[in-house]
């Protein structure tokens, strides 16, 4: 992982490996797999409700984002330069509308050094995920109505192939890493994999190597992609993440009973992954802007603070479902704050200065 954070004239460059961003591809495939499993299960039991699906997903996703945006607007008021604060307010608005990935794609992209000034850059993934959650059940319902549940897999596989082809050509522009049309195919791969998972599990069970072999092979593929990925001039292509996508599919298809991913460590990481994803980048950016040193003690203190924030976010904002009316009130209040800051640039600039 290479992390650049610029604070004035100082720059921190921490380099461990170059492909940390490949983890997103793994999560996209897994997300498509899990969401499809829930929807198809309800299809088979004739118990699917589109409204209930949207409410359940959004009440899990939105509350942590709302409190993140509140934190960013308050902390940014004191720590960011006026022009960066105005941009951050726009990022808040785009994040709340789940369209931020398009703005980031057209303003430098993910791999630019200027990304250190984009406090909510990491929410591009959230935007694509929510867009997928909104469109995907509608697509599955349409397929089910036209072709029936038995042909759901074949239709989904055909759509996935078309999306991969679209993503290949769309990513040639150099903006593909952040664009929905270039990334959503990975979720469809996960969804298609789930439809055929029973057949794949049966085939793997008959193989002499066993499920563990496929899981280990898939894990190796992912690690190879992470450590040896090559981003030429910051341009992401479909082929860039292909090995990680294949590896993730192998791990999911293996469904090994004695899987290392069933251990308590991975279970805890999986449960807290959303809150960790939401909070890590803004916290690191603000800490660097405060001029905190990068000695071992400071880094340990930062990680401890992050762990505490993640824990509180998971317990009180994810696990404990908040009242939907309260969530809506906070949501529209933040949109109002975004509108106010955007329309009062001069006043905000003078106040910060």
Nearest 5°: CA angle at 22, between 136 and 249?
55
pLDDT digit string, tens, across residues 17-72: 567 789 999 999 999 999 999 999 999 999 999 999 999 999 999 999 999 999 99
Q: What is the 3-state secondary structure (H, E, C) of 14-81?
A: EECCCCHHHHHHHHHHHHHHHHHHHHHHHHHCCCCCHHHHHHHHHHHHHHHHHHHHHHHHHHHHHHCC
* Predicted confidence (pLDDT) at residue 14 exceeds the cutoff of 70: no
* Predicted confidence (pLDDT) at residue 160 exceeds the cutoff of 70: yes
- Distance (Å, whole) CA 253 – CA 201: 6
pLDDT digit string, tens, across residues 81-133: 888 898 999 999 999 999 999 999 988 777 765 666 789 999 999 999 999 99
- Do the Cβ atoms of 130 and 61 come closer than 8 Å? yes
pLDDT digit string, tens, across residues 172-185: 988 899 999 999 99
- pLDDT for position 8: 38
- Give the side-chain half-sphere CA count within 13 A for 345: 7
Q: What predicted TM-score, i.e. pTM, was given to this entire model?
A: 0.89
The residue written with tokens 């899987």 in the block is 259
User: Residue ranges per domain, the chain?
Assistant: 22-352
- pLDDT for position 11: 43
């Amino acid at each position: 992982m290479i992390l650049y954070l610029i604070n004035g004239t100082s720059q921190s460059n921490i380099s461990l490996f170059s492909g940390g961003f490949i983890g997103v591809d793994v999560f996209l495939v897994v997300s498509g797999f899990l969401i499809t499993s829930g929807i198809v299960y309800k299809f088979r039991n004739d118990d699917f409700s589109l409204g209930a699906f949207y409410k359940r997903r959004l009440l899990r996703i939105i509350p942590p984002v709302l409190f993140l945006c509140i934190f960013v607007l308050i902390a940014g008021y004191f720590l960011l330069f006026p022009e960066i604060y105005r941009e951050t307010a726009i990022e808040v608005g785009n994040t709340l509308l789940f369209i931020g990935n398009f703005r980031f794609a057209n303003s430098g992209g993910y791999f630019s050094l200027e990304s250190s000034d984009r406090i909510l850059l990491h929410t591009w993934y959230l935007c694509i995920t929510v867009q997928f959650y909104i469109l995907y059940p509608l697509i599955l319902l349409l397929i089910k109505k036209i072709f029936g549940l038995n042909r759901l897999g074949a239709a989904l596989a055909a759509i996935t192939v078309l999306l991969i082809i679209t993503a290949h050509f769309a990513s040639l522009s150099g903006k593909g890493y952040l664009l929905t049309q270039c990334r959503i195919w990975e979720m469809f791969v996960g969804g298609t994999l789930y439809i055929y998972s029973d057949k794949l599990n049966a085939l793997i069970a008959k193989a002499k190597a066993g499920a563990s072999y496929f899981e280990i092979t898939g894990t190796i593929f992912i690690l190879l992609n992470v450590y040896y990925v090559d981003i030429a001039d910051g341009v992401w292509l479909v082929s860039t993440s292909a090995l990680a996508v294949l590896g993730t599919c192998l791990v999911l298809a293996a469904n090994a009973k004695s899987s290392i991913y069933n251990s308590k460590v991975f279970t805890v990481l999986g449960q807290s992954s959303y809150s960790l994803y939401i909070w890590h980048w803004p916290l690191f950016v603000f800490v660097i802007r405060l001029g905190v040193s990068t000695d071992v003690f400071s880094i340990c203190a930062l990680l401890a603070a992050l762990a505490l924030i993640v824990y509180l976010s998971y317990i009180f904002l994810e696990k404990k479902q908040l009242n939907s009316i309260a969530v809506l009130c906070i949501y529209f209040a933040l949109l109002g704050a975004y509108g106010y800051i955007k329309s009062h640039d001069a006043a905000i600039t003078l106040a910060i200065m």
